[in-house]
Amino acid sequence: MRLPFSDMYNRPDERNLLDHTGQGLIGKPLDRPEGPLKVSGAATYSAEWKLPNCAEGVLALASIPQGTVRAIHAEPVLAMPGVIAVIADKAMVRRSTQGTAGKAPAQDVTTVEYFGQPVAVVVAETFEQARDAALALRVDYDPAEKPVPLDPESPQAEVETPSDSKPIEGGDLDAAMREAAFAIDVSYDTPGHASAAMEPHVTIAEWQDDRLILRGSYQMLSYNVKEIADCLSIKPDKVRIIAPYVGGGFGSKLGITHEAVAAAVAAREIGRPVRVVMTRQQVFQTVMRRSETRQRVRLAADAGGRIVGLGHEALVSNLPQEDFAEPVTQATEFLYGGDNRLLKVEVARISRLTAGSVRAPGEAVGMQVLEAAMDELAEAIGMDPIELRKRNLPATVPVEGTPYSSRMLVEALEAGAKAFGWDRRQPTPCQTREGDWWIGHGVASAARVNMMVPAEARVTLNPDGSALVETDQTDIGTGSYAILGQIAGEMLGLPIERVKVELGDTRLPAGAGSGGSFGAISTGSAVMRACEAIRETLAKKLGCEAEELQLKDGVASGGGKQQPIAGLVQEKPLAETGSIKPGKTAKDFSQASYGAFFAEVAVHAFTGETRVRRMTGAFGFGRVLNAKTARSQCLGGMVWGIGSALTEELAFDLRDGHLVNHDLAEYHVPVHADVPAIEVILLEERDAAASPLQAKGVGELGICGAAGAIANAIHNACGVRVRSFPLTLDKLIDQLPDPFAPATAKVA
């Protein structure tokens, strides 16, 4: 389905300017302009700012899971070399802020909610002095009177339906399961995950009279300003945040975290700038985790393989009184048909660090389980897994009846299958062997909701024919500098070298921030709006209608006239601020990006060791703004999928709740040896309901379902169906078939 431009943007118009400009920048695989600065070490990351007289702070962490701080023995620590202060202010936060919160999380660190929670910050002249003092700091605690369990599976864990996640019900699922020609009722579990961004969390806080300046690593500055201001009981206009370069976030830096408030409080108390850099272990222990999940999937199909019933229920966890609950069923709502359905998420209240947004919350773990269950249904029916998926795409969203804005899932499945060579797959497990390795192939759909959020950007066209784009939008390695420059260059008819982009400073107009895959389309649409206003001014100056104006290579033409753009601007720059916000189509249409994953794995016949040998991903997400950065995002998501399938798992000690694998030595993200040749196919489309750019989000799409394709490939290889992620060799080895004879499928 292709839709005209909608009144989501209060500007009904079937004509999209980007299809009629001639500079040729949109979609091109242009390099990131800040790339040379980053690889040469010239880009200043948050910890690298050199402020005179800057003290160093290190967080001291709780050694109990729950309770109250009775006493902090600061005197011995204050006598240590270089130590300036030990601070446990009630303004300091004990939880991370959820993305887009715009307000303070739970404060007062004297109440301990989980093992490893910050309870104080120790400030010294050097990092080493502060670190040693923080480790030496002795804290006395009173245990909690009514502790909550450490394990979400504990019978004592309070389980409730989150306020913003009401069940979706339709028809009679139980009856559909009883009467179905084919039925699948399976339970899977997924572990907790860490964001594991390369750059640790860091803040340098500096007070200038009553104004606070933070140099830090954050994803969403317009919200972060409000959050830090609320924590400190000051007005947001008294806060400035500077974050031009962010070394990855993946959800962990969406909201203000402990080190930011600690640095601000400490700087105010000692009257000097204070830098607080979390260690890798502290980031893992305190910032944000993806919740573990237990998921039940029920699929009922008729004799023709059409789904008539679909159930997807999940148990997740979080701290008491924490609103966020991993939205596991987010894609299940709209992906496949089945009028008889039940979708439900429940949250267990436990004592572990805050659960929140980590790498495509919801779909990342929900899709991998749904897609594994779809493979089980295809096997039960005896149908090709691709055909099963294609046969069950509904005309409108089940129960709701909402139409789709666009959906490239069939095209992705077909393009991916052709490139991957799916027709050579053996449908029966244990049919292909290379030496000691069973070889198998798997497929899974990809889907990720599309979102737009309010955003602003200022574009200035200078008399010398150059342009400047300004917004507090961040670039966390996703390509914001490149994409926003391409949009402005395309709209204003300028070579990319003539466009400068400044990001990551709250003195600039408030962009969308980097998160939820909405940064490029939201802030990019604001840039487009600003450029449209400049084009209208240029058309008037040239003496032609705006529709006639052509801008290319620094020259304006229209109405039979031609003139250099610089000549039209003359002495005074043309500056316009564009803005965008969601409107009707956000509710009128189901908006999502789609794709398909294909994986080939090798499973060692004797040990169960699994290697992903190759992967193909085909994706449709509206207009491609930059083919290089988009491919990079999809490729990175597929690497995340490998981690979710095979290696990544948070491990908590249930005796006291401490995180056992709290660094990159023990928390196993995929490394080069784990990542095979990955092929990414970008499917060009237009979705006018999604954004003025006709583009949709891509940043998180590449993980949503990828682990399911790998799980399905493992089953195809060796006949073992593992329903507990990650699929490590210990879950396979005792279920492997006789390596010298084919075997029927087994369930681990």
On the question of pLDDT at 4 being above 60, the answer is no
Nearest C-alpha neighbor of 599 from the set 458, 474, 422: 422
Residue 515 CA from chain centroid, whole number = 6
User: pLDDT digit string (tens) for 262-280?
Assistant: 999 999 999 999 999 999 9
Q: What is the pLDDT of residue 334?
A: 98
Is residue 380 within 8 A of residue 190, CB to CB? The reply is: no
Q: Work out the average pLDDT over 597-608.
A: 97
Q: Work out the average pLDDT over 358-369.
A: 98
Question: Tokens in use for 548?
Answer: 């006639």
Q: In what order do the strands lie in the sheet with 499-502?
A: 499-502, 467-470, 455-461, 574-580
Q: What is the pLDDT of residue 15?
A: 63
For residue 280, how many other CB atoms are within 10 A of its CB? 15
User: pLDDT digit string (tens) for 652-688?
Assistant: 999 999 999 999 999 999 999 999 999 999 999 999 9
Tell me the DSSP string of 592-658: EEEEEEEEEEEEETTT--EEEEEEEEEEE-BS-SBHHHHHHHHHHHHHHHHHHHHT----B-TTT--
Q: Are strands 555-558 and 561-564 parallel, antiparallel or unpaired?
A: antiparallel
Is residue 722 within 8 A of residue 748, CB to CB? The reply is: yes
User: pLDDT digit string (tens) for 391-432?
Assistant: 999 999 999 999 999 999 999 999 999 999 999 999 999 999
Is residue 448 within 8 A of residue 701, CB to CB? The reply is: yes
Nearest C-alpha neighbor of 99 from the set 342, 291, 356, 386: 356
The continuous run of DSSP H or E covering 113 comes out as none
Reported confidence tier of residue 570, pLDDT bands at 50, 70, 90: confident
Question: Tokens in use for 457?
Answer: 């950007």
Reported confidence tier of residue 747, pLDDT bands at 50, 70, 90: low
On the question of pLDDT at 171 being above 70, the answer is yes
On the question of pLDDT at 726 being above 70, the answer is yes
Hey, is 135 helix, strand or coil?
helix
Amino acid type, 434 = E
User: pLDDT digit string (tens) for 202-222?
Assistant: 999 999 999 999 999 999 999
Nearest C-alpha neighbor of 517 from the set 132, 179, 254, 187: 254
Mean pLDDT lowest for which of 59-63, 75-79, 474-478, 741-745? 741-745
Mean pLDDT lowest for which of 9-18, 241-250, 498-507? 9-18
For residue 664, how many other CB atoms are within 10 A of its CB? 15
Hey, is 410 helix, strand or coil?
helix
Among residues 206, 259, 292, 700, the one annotated as catalytic is 700
Reported confidence tier of residue 748, pLDDT bands at 50, 70, 90: low
DSSP state of 342: E
The C-alpha angle with vertex 250 and arms to 359 and 65, in degrees rounded to 5, equals 85
- Asked, as a colleague might, if the bond just before 273 is cis with ω within 30 of 0, I would say no
On the question of pLDDT at 165 being above 90, the answer is no
User: pLDDT digit string (tens) for 289-300?
Assistant: 999 999 999 999
Q: Work out the average pLDDT over 438-460.
A: 98
Percent of the chain whose predicted confidence (pLDDT) is above 70 = 97
On the question of pLDDT at 710 being above 90, the answer is yes
For residue 55, how many other CB atoms are within 10 A of its CB? 25
The Cα diameter of the chain in Å comes to 82
On the question of pLDDT at 113 being above 90, the answer is yes
Is residue 504 within 8 A of residue 474, CB to CB? The reply is: yes
Q: In terms of pLDDT, which residue wins out, 402 or 748? A: 402
Residues 152, 586: Cα–Cα separation, whole Å: 35
Residues 534, 699: Cα–Cα separation, whole Å: 30
Hey, is 688 helix, strand or coil?
coil
Q: Does 700 qualify as catalytic in the annotation? A: yes
Q: What is the mean pLDDT of the chain?
A: 95
Dihedral sign for Cα atoms in the order 226, 228, 234, 238? negative
Residues 298, 341: Cα–Cα separation, whole Å: 9
Torsion, Cα of 66, 655, 158, 144 (10° steps): -20
Q: What is the pLDDT of residue 252?
A: 97
Amino acid type, 74 = A
On the question of pLDDT at 545 being above 90, the answer is yes
On the question of pLDDT at 598 being above 80, the answer is yes
Residues 364, 330: Cα–Cα separation, whole Å: 10
On the question of pLDDT at 12 being above 60, the answer is no
Dihedral sign for Cα atoms in the order 556, 562, 564, 567? negative
The C-alpha angle with vertex 62 and arms to 58 and 64, in degrees rounded to 5, equals 165
Hey, is 95 helix, strand or coil?
coil
Question: Tokens in use for 194?
Answer: 């860490």
Residues 415, 413: Cα–Cα separation, whole Å: 6
- Those residues with Cβ within 8 angstroms of residue 503's Cβ, 6 or more apart along the chain or in another chain: 244, 471, 472, 473, 474, 475, 480, 481, 484, 511
Residues 467, 622: Cα–Cα separation, whole Å: 26
On the question of pLDDT at 524 being above 90, the answer is yes
| Burial class (CB within 10 angstroms; exposed 0-12, middle 13-18, buried 19+) of 120 | buried
Q: What is the pLDDT of residue 7?
A: 36
Q: What is the pLDDT of residue 740?
A: 81
Helix boundaries (H) for 147-293 = 173-179, 221-232, 258-270, 280-286
